[in-house]
Amino acid sequence: MNNVSCVMFHAKQDIIVSNSEDKSIRVWDATKRTGIQTFRREHDRFWILAAHPEMNLLAAGHDSGMIVFKLERERPAFAVSGDCLFYTKDRFLRSYEFSTQKETQILPIRRPGSVSLNQSPKTLSYSPSENAFLLCSDVDGGSYELYSISKDSYGRGDVQDTKKGHGGSAVFVARNRFAVLDKSNNQVLVKNLKNDLVKKSVLPIATDAIFYAGTGNLLCRSEDRVVIFDLQQRLVIGELQTPFIKYVVWSNDMENVALLSKHAIIIASKKLVHQCTLHETIRVKSGGWDDNGVFIYTTLNHIKYCLPNGDSGIIKTLDVPIYITKVSGNILFCLDRDGKSRAITIDATEYIFKLSLLKKRYDHVMNMIRNSQLCGQAVIAYLQQKGFPEIAVASATAIDEKDHWYRLGVEALRQGNAGIVEYAYQRTKNFERLSFLYLVTGNMEKLSKMLKIAEVKNDVMGQFHNALYMGDVRERIKILENVGHLPLAYITASVHGLHDVAERLAAELGDNVPSLPEGKVPSLLIPPSPVLCGTDWPLLRVMRGIFDGAFDNSGHGAVDEEYEVADGDWGEELDIVDVDGLQNGDIAATLALDDGEVAEENDEEGGWEMEDLELPPEADTPKASISTRSSVFVPPVPGMPVSQIWIQKSSLAADHAAAGNFDTAMRLLNRQLGIRNFAPLKSMFLDLNTGSHSYLRAFSSAPIISLAVERGWTESSAANVRGSPVVPFKLSQLDEKLKAGYKLTTAGKFTEALRTFVNILHTIPLIVVESRREVDDVKELVIIVKEYVLALQMELKRREIKDNPARQQELAAYFTHCNLQTPHLRLALHNAMVVCFKAKNLATASTFARRLLETNPTVENQAKTARQVIAAAEKNMTDATQLNYDFRNPFVVCGATYVPIYRGQKDVSCPYCTSRFVPSQEGQLCTVCDLAVVGADASGLLCSPSQIR
């Protein structure tokens, strides 16, 4: 240790944490006064420590920033069996009964021999018939302990001989058999309760953990997939590609399984048939199945639910993370980070409502609508999205707030449901939108009524707009005349041929009659006729839904009487209160009058003249049961756009660019690689977007249909599972470009070679590969190409300099210190040797000559020239010019100023291409890749789904 700068006691454990200028944080056992663990950074000294007052978190400040960390894993190992929970806490194995909420201490757990942190059990497996426990931990690189205990000896510590062994993970697979993973040989060892080996089985994939999957079955996890393996038949029952799975939660009937990764949840059947995938932006911590088959899970700060079809929502917000152990009704049992059992009451109404819709339990749905408080914007939007507009109307009626009616109207208009749009506008008294709705649906009759309503309300602009919509010229002239715009009224009458009205207005205007342009042919402005008049937009025709007519008492008219009422197709009359105190009946009476007519109180005339016909008996026909509305138009359930699916399930910039969401793609690249200059990537973004779609022309009058193209798609792919977009840029293409760049460099075509290498650097951020090995190849490619770009930039710069021989020699010398292929290094050394020899710098030229001979040049002329230079230099080992070049001191070259940065000197680097720069270049655009900002904070290159954990 060197110069300790901060020391503090841990709030919950008997340990002391210190940091110092030797770039380390050390953890000490306060009772034994010995070191437990050490954390180090390569380049930064630590200065200060701080502890969170409530959570088990520490923070440490160092030269270039701050880190926040915790010393030990806080998730307790636990297992559930029937009504009992078994878990570890404070070096003891404990049990908890859910029904009585009684806690019992079962037995003490052996202390591991190591004194380092994170040695507590990670997993717990239980055999109820034998009352045996398997505890797995990371002690000695992975080990397990087997405890057998009789139930009547709980708490007394009467334990039979504890069995121990080594293994990556261990789990019970039968009543008296357990499986142990042997990672080194990729096999599983099946043992009995005496810890004796029964049999071995080679696993079908490279497995790093095993989980219980039913009697005799194991769920094997690798980096990018899971399989269910039958130990008896040694067969693979199911296989599923997934992110890196951390936890596995089986449903109570073992029919479904939830696979939990860091930021995703995959729901599958017992044979790993994919059902849905749910992505989260923050970490998933735990989960459990309730009695209805809904998966309840927790993140860092929420309790959420996931339905079998993938719909999800928030149940409750959390103050601290918890780990779900069991869900029973509306009670959620869990463990907190202190190892305490808790029972939390949750409101299950929302997800039970959605589950009832999913399972078509419509009686439950209607009962919940009427009797519960389940109404809100989210529920209404969900019902509209899933194709239940009738229930959405009922929910909006129950809320009866203007904002919710407006949102319902907007969504109904988007789906073409004119009846619900009209009803929503009526409830909100939105007359302008209502008039426009009648215009686009061709309902001139109701549009004329809107004109009269505007007149009653003394709304001049409303009157004029409705008159324009109807093409009623006389009404427009009347309105203009009433408000005193006589010149406009005169012009309107003149251009539309109403000469009697125009003469009368001209007499009133006198000498102020406006002049009309000559040679113009006037035309009446009449709105075009709508394509479809008086009904909803045609959608899929389905049989009458169970909810049709179920909400007649909700205030929007009776469905069965739609052909008995004159305006049945157009919804109810307006529910309006006039500014002068007119009630609905008064307005209805006003609208029932035509211009110049007076309503009679006892008008017996009108209506349909229905008379009975005297038909012969043979004309009788059997009665048919005909419904006035046997089917209705119901909008199909709109699926999520493929581009949105791509964005939600991926953190790769290439996938976001392929989906057309360039904004998020740029944000990802900025966060991952510090890229600020996106101009060079514009064409590649467009190529990604167009290359991930195929375009199909249907009819000449119809728009082109865009079809998403997914990578890895086969005929056996599931129809309801969307893959990631195909990406036109391949690693193999970049390898070919790299070879082409090598050839151009060998041929001395440096400008073309530089253009090729820069193109590779610009393409790599938007490439997608599958395996971790390919990720390493991509990262290695960045380093290779970066070296060539820097080398070629210096060489081209050298050739531009004509009047500075010393600078020419320096750039030629720096060229030889780039990490190039051996043939190119020989050419660089030969070039530097010649340049320095001609400038009379014989000593420096001889160093290049010796380095050239050390590469064993295959061209004899190069070796011969090198030997001659060495011979000449030995006679006069001097340099005529002093250069800023010391070949004995290791250095890297600044990518902007092309000066050496010797070992020990401060520098900054590009977060993408890793080029090094002098500190004054921090915050500037990297001159090597021309993309990223020098010295910017970045998380690193992300080019494969396998990197997302």
385-418 per-position pLDDT tens digit: 665 655 665 555 655 667 767 777 777 777 777 7
User: Alpha-carbon distance 766 to 727, whole Å?
Assistant: 8
Contact assessment for residue 169 and residue 209, using Cβ atoms and an 8 Å cutoff? yes
- What the block records as the tokens of 243 is 């992110």
Lowest mean pLDDT among 125-139, 280-294, 560-574, 735-749: 560-574
175: tokens are 């009543």
Of the CA atoms within 13 Å of residue 723, those in its CB half-sphere come to 17
pLDDT at 179 over 70: yes
Q: What is the pLDDT of residues 234-265, one digit of tens each?
A: 888 889 988 889 999 999 888 999 999 988 99
The 10 Å Cβ neighbour count of residue 310 is: 14
At 790, is the pLDDT very low, low, confident or very high (cuts 50, 70, 90)?
very high
Short-list 82, 629, 8, 11, CA closest to 325: 82
Joined tokens for residue 195: 């810890």
Reported pTM: 0.47
pLDDT score recorded for residue 258: 94
Count other C-beta atoms under 10 Å from residue 810's C-beta.
26
- What residues does 142 pair with on adjacent strands? none
Distance of CA 880 to the CA centre of its chain: 63
pLDDT digits (tens, 9 = 90+) for 684-702: 999 988 888 888 877 777 7
Which strand (E) or helix (H) includes residue 745? helix 731-746
- Cα dihedral value 482, 485, 486, 491, nearest 10: -120
Across the beta sheet with 143-148, what order do the strands follow? 123-127, 132-137, 143-148, 163-166
List phi, psi (to 5°) of 222. Answer: -120, -170
Helices and strands in the chain, H and E counts: 24, 42
> Region 495-515: what's the mean pLDDT?
82
Please state the rounded mean pLDDT for residues 524-553. Answer: 58
The mean pLDDT of 559-588, rounded to a whole number, is 41
C-beta atoms surrounding 856 within 10 Å:
9
Residue given tokens 């179920």 in the structure block: 550
- Tell me the HSE value of 623 on the side-chain side, using a 13 A CA sphere: 2
Is the CB of residue 681 less than 8 Å from the CB of residue 673? Answer: no
Q: What is the pLDDT of residue 927?
A: 94
Position with higher pLDDT, 484 vs 387: 484
For the chain, what is the mean pLDDT? 80
pLDDT band at 603 (very low <50, low <70, confident <90, very high): very low
List, in order, residues 6 or more apart from 693 with CB less than 8 Å away.
Answer: 706, 707, 708, 709
Per-residue pLDDT, 110: 63
CB 929 within 8 A of CB 910: yes
CA angle 143, 145, 148 (to 5 degrees): 165
pLDDT score at 632: 52
Lowest mean pLDDT, pick from 204-218, 554-568, 740-754: 554-568
Structure token digits, residue 2: 């060197």
pLDDT value at residue 195: 86
Tell which wins on pLDDT, 372 or 825: 825
Whether residue 893 has pLDDT greater than 90: yes
